[in-house]
Amino acid sequence: MTALEVNGLEKSFGGLRVTAGVSLAVEPGERRLIIGPNGAGKTTLFNLITGELKPDRGAVRLFGRDITRIASRRRPHLGLARTYQIITLFPDDTLLRNVMLSLLGLSRRRWNPVARLDRQSDLIAAAHAALARVRLGHLADRTLTQTAYGERRRVEIAMALAQNPKVLLLDEPFAGLSIDERRDVQELLAAIPREVTIVMIEHDMDVALDFAERITVLHFGEVVVEGSRAEIVSHPRTREIYLGE
Amino acid sequence: MNISLLLAGNSVAFGGLLFLLSAGFALIFGLMRIPNLTHGSLFMLGAYFGTSLIGWGFGFWPAAIVAGLGVAAFGGIVERFLLRRLPGKELAQVLVTLGLSFMIADACLMQWGGDPISIETPPSLRGATLIGKMAAFPTYRLAIVAVAVTVAAALWALMDRTRLGAMIRAGVDDPAMARIVGIRVSLLFTIVFSLGAGLAGFAGVIGGPILSVYPGLDQDMLPLALVVVILGGSGSLVGAFVGSFVVGFLYNFGQAMLPELAYVVLFLPMLIVLVVRPQGLFGRATS
Amino acid sequence: MRRVAIAAALLALATLPFWVGNTYYINIASQILLYAVFALGLNVLVGYAGLVSLGHAGLFGIAAYAGALLVNSGFNHFTAILGALAVTVIAAGLFAVLALRGTGLGFVMITVALGQIVWGVAYRWISITNGDNGVSVTTRPQPLGLSLANAPGFYWATLIVFLVTAAATAVFVASPFGASLRGTRDQPRRMNALGYNVWLIRFLAFLFSGFWSGAAGMLFLYYNQFVSPQVVALTASAEALLMVISGGTATLLGPIAGAALVVIMKNVASAYIERWNFVLGAIFVVIVVFMPEGLVPGSVRLWRWTTARLRPPIAAAPGPAARAREAGE
């Protein structure tokens, strides 16, 4: 059984076909990379998988279960988590609070209007642990505005990991990072256990190629090449798309 | 004369007046994306200003035009010095217009007192005109319709035929793109707000002979402008034109036939439109 | 320190009728408290959910009218209060379902339309609401046999309701649900992606907000023993919003301070300043343009700025860590 599967996904905006029939299958534990030039429809594909966009045609399956009709807010409960290209965290809250919100999202406690959030010790401990996992434990009480960009990227990832996902979608996790910061994130990703299947969108070829086992190349909303690292790098179409030959 | 015919006639006249009021509102809403909550008080300000002008010896039509220009200038100042300080923050701008409406209404009360002031119908338009063979209709009300149609035509010419109009339309369709192309959108905002305010002020004087001028006129007129523009489609002058007459009919027939539900008859359609097509009316439809 | 301040404030409030001898000022205090209840309720929506409502006077008024009609139909006060609150919460639910179809400015305009419909019914459906003449109630409730007919008695009853509201709101804000609500204000898309039901969270917040608006409406009814369409006009909703915005939406103290400001200006200042509405509008404009975070945080900011200026400059140069941090950010 595949971890994540999409079949014939199509999406158009007005006259523009952004996703033109994409099918792919990701095995459990796999590290998949989706690359393609700007406008290839990578983020739209993620949005279709998470349910933020409804496909015009096609299906999405999570561990065999058809989730195409399931509301996007239910999918984290089924084990799907994602990070965003643009950091969308809660700017006025501390890092700890940010991660706690992530943890609450899956907990029945989020509906509780009388308990004190600050007294939920198990939640607080779990949030500390989640921050420690991305080596930000020492900044738990800083607000987001007091952290550097690279640190915020790691908080993004911590938020997603805190929900114990089975499938993790990372949208350009290396965007805008310095060399040191990239190394930090790389180590972080390498340390994620195989129980979590990871699909990553990236632009930066060098860093991403280290990470990926299989690579899917998108162009104009279609899958044009798919294969292992070596296959992709030597494929003439990849050269064509990226180097314009 | 047949009561329905009378009502219909009044509805048309009222619709004409509503168009003069709402055209400015529609323009401001379309370009600046804010419901200008000051609009009712600008209408009232123009009306009061008109009464003073007439008191100083101005004729009716000159008073209407001068009042319009005065309110336009006021509008320009408001936009330039207050609204422009809040670029992109539409909600804040709406709240500023709300606060201003309070200030203007109270200032009018201070300046002109609490008693209603009537504006006399211009002498040449008094009395009634015979329509066909059966109906005699107040001439002034027919004049209002004529003025409304004239202003509508002038606005259409402005929007369709002039460079300014083209810039306004560009700004309505896509402000970001308009800026890139070199259109000075901030200046456009000031011009359009002025124009809208001026139309409201002018309309206030025109409406004077029918409505007279009194404290609370602003609160009576603003909701009507709101309903017209929302029913007619924000930013659309054609929509405002059609919507004005629809609301004119709803208002008059509603008052006559269902007096207890008069306002519900007006606001329920507005509510329905807002609820059924919220994105289409407010802000750009985002993909 | 905070606890001492709160305790002192509570003591002052509880004993107010004794150290404010004048009935007029005791009544002002009652008004401040009842509008503070209204403002706290509205702030749940405006400050914590990020949803600006210009129709909340409609809910306030629905409670007052419902209460008045129930009392005048022969029901006892207790039943009337419960009935009015129930009607208000149902109305809040209806408002919410309609208003939540829009976002941002669309939400605001729908609340305006709803408020205007309520006003239209109050003004025109004369057979039920008596139109412009309003509805009177001749008696105030007598909880546990205590009379609320005099100023101090009514003040203490209002104080109790206010304290309940303040406590309930404080608990709500500090709860997981409160944090969820604030999350939907800041990043609704992200909240959805984290598994939250954003619409339902907002809907429930609206009901909570509506309940307190209803409580305030009932207090208003018993205070004035009269309700008229003026209560549900757009200006009334605007005043409520002004209370919330002027005090500051991010704190609990903000709406209370805002309510105090507006009530004092309206009643006391209008004895000295002729035109209350002009001042109200001007304050609105000034706050929105210059102090958008509200008077409470704005004053705090001003205070900090002033005291920072007055403190002597720090002698030592910043250390390497601080310098690096400044360079890196």
Whether A196 and A121 share a structural domain: no
Please report which confidence band the pLDDT of residue A14 belongs to, taking 50, 70 and 90 as the band edges.
confident
Rg (CA), chain C: 22
ipTM of this complex = 0.89
Least Cα separation, residue C145 to chain A (angstroms)? 32
Burial C239-277 (b: 16+ CB within 10 A, else e): bbbbbbbbbbbbbbebbbbbbbbbbebbbeeeeeeebbb
Q: Which residues of C touch A (CB under 8 A)?
A: 171-172, 174-180, 182-183, 186-187, 189-198, 208, 328-329
Whether A104 and A40 share a structural domain: no
* Average pLDDT taken over every residue of chain A: 89
| Cβ contacts of B268-271, under 8 Å, gap ≥ 24 | B268/C117, B269/B227, B269/B231, B270/B226, B270/B227, B270/B230, B270/B231, B270/C113, B271/C98, B271/C110, B271/C113, B271/C114, B271/C117
Q: Which of A143, A164, A185 is the last residue of a domain?
A: A164
Asked whether the beta carbons of B45 and B201 are under 8 A apart, the reply is yes
Residue A43 is assigned to a structural domain of this protein = yes
Q: Point out the residues of chain C with pLDDT beneath 50.
A: 315-319, 321-329
Q: Does the pLDDT of residue B41 top 90, yes or no?
A: yes
Q: What is the pLDDT of residue A52?
A: 92
Backbone angles phi, psi at C267, to 5 degrees: -95, -50
| Count of H-run helices and E-run strands, chain B | 12, 2
CB contact under 8 A, C288 and B95: yes
Q: What is the pLDDT of residue B134?
A: 66
Whether A146 and A170 share a structural domain: no
Dihedral (Cα; B177, B181, B185, B186), 10-degree rounding: 120
Q: Residue C177: which of A52, A97, A112 has the nearest Cβ? A: A112
Q: What is the pLDDT of residue C329?
A: 38
Least Cα separation, residue B196 to chain C (angstroms)? 20
CA distances (Å), B32 to each of A35, B76, C81, in order? 40, 14, 44
Q: Does the pLDDT of residue A60 top 90, yes or no?
A: yes
Interface of A with C in 59-88 (CB under 8 A): 72-77, 82, 84, 88
> Containing domain of residue A154, as a range?
89-164
Whether A108 and A143 share a structural domain: yes
d(CA C304, CA C295): 14
Q: What is the pLDDT of residue C296?
A: 66
Neighbours of chain B (3+ CB pairs under 8 A): C
Residue A2 is assigned to a structural domain of this protein = yes
Please report which confidence band the pLDDT of residue A244 belongs to, taking 50, 70 and 90 as the band edges.
low
Q: Which of A164, A182, A197 is the last residue of a domain?
A: A164
Q: Domain residue spans in chain B?
A: 19-216
CA distances (Å), A171 to each of A44, A156, A198, A206, in order? 11, 10, 11, 16
Nearest in space to B261 (alpha carbons), one of C122, A204, C26, C296: C122
CATH number at residue A176: 3.40.50.300
Whether A49 and A95 share a structural domain: no
Q: Does the pLDDT of residue B279 top 60, yes or no?
A: no
Q: Which of A129, A164, A199 is the last residue of a domain?
A: A164
Angle (CA) C172 C175 C179, round 5°: 100
pLDDT digits (tens, 9 = 90+) for B204-234: 999 999 898 999 899 889 989 988 888 887 6
Whether A159 and A187 share a structural domain: no
Please report which confidence band the pLDDT of residue A50 belongs to, taking 50, 70 and 90 as the band edges.
very high
In the numeric block, the tokens 């990236």 are attached to A202
Per the model's pLDDT, the better-predicted residue between B132 and B213 turns out to be B213
Exposure on the CB side of residue A55, measured as CA atoms within 13 A: 27
CB atoms within 10 A of CB C15: 10
Number of domains in chain A: 2
Per the model's pLDDT, the better-predicted residue between A128 and A207 turns out to be A128
CA distances (Å), B259 to each of A22, A34, B254, B256, C329, in order? 60, 65, 6, 6, 65
pLDDT digits (tens, 9 = 90+) for B234-258: 667 888 898 899 899 988 888 888 8
- Element of type H or E holding C223: helix C198-224
Residue C226's contacts (CB-CB under 8 Å, 6 or more residues apart) are C134, C135, C136, C137
Q: What is the pLDDT of residue C86?
A: 97
Helix (H, G, I), strand (E, B) or coil at A188: helix
Least Cα separation, residue C325 to chain A (angstroms)? 9
Residue A84 is assigned to a structural domain of this protein = no
d(CA A137, CA C69): 59
pLDDT over 70, % of chain B? 93
Q: Residue C180: which of A89, A104, A114 has the nearest Cβ? A: A104
Residue C159's contacts (CB-CB under 8 Å, 6 or more residues apart) are C13, C14, C16, C33
Least Cα separation, residue B55 to chain C (angstroms)? 25
Whether A67 and A170 share a structural domain: yes
Residue A17 is assigned to a structural domain of this protein = yes
Chain C interface, mutation test: which of B79, B263, B286, most C Cβ atoms within 10 Å?
A: B263
Nearest in space to A134 (alpha carbons), one of A84, A210, A80, A187: A187
Whether A73 and A3 share a structural domain: yes
Nearest in space to C37 (alpha carbons), one of C175, C220, C283: C220
> For residue A155, what are its two tokens?
């908080």
* Average pLDDT taken over every residue of chain C: 86
Whether A24 and A130 share a structural domain: no
